Amino acid sequence: MSGRAALTRLTGNGDGECGEKDCPNVYRTATGSFVVQGNVSDAFTPPRGEGLVEVPESVLKEAFRALGW
């Protein structure tokens, strides 16, 4: 399994500021790392192969709640 189907969606399940829409979200991978979806940021140029995204604080709080943190 690859792509988005291999990720556990922690946010955007109906209760946050985006509801179930496809907007800023946090996902957990099978290995325990995180994938963050958000608006592209141009705050600085990241190293090759990396990117910057901006997510609202409320999305991160929702992800922490989903993990029980």
Query: Which tens digit of pLDDT belongs to each residue from 9-37?
Result: 998 876 666 666 677 899 999 999 999 99
Terminal-residue alpha carbon distance, the chain: 28
Domains contained in the chain, number: 1
Is 46 within 8 Å of 5 (Cβ atoms)? no
> Strand 34-37's sheet: what is its strand order?
8-9, 25-28, 34-37
8 Å CB contact between 14 and 23: no
Residue-range definition of the domain harbouring residue 18: 3-67
* Average pLDDT for 40-69: 94
**DSSP bridge partners of 36:** 26
Write down the pTM of the prediction. Answer: 0.78
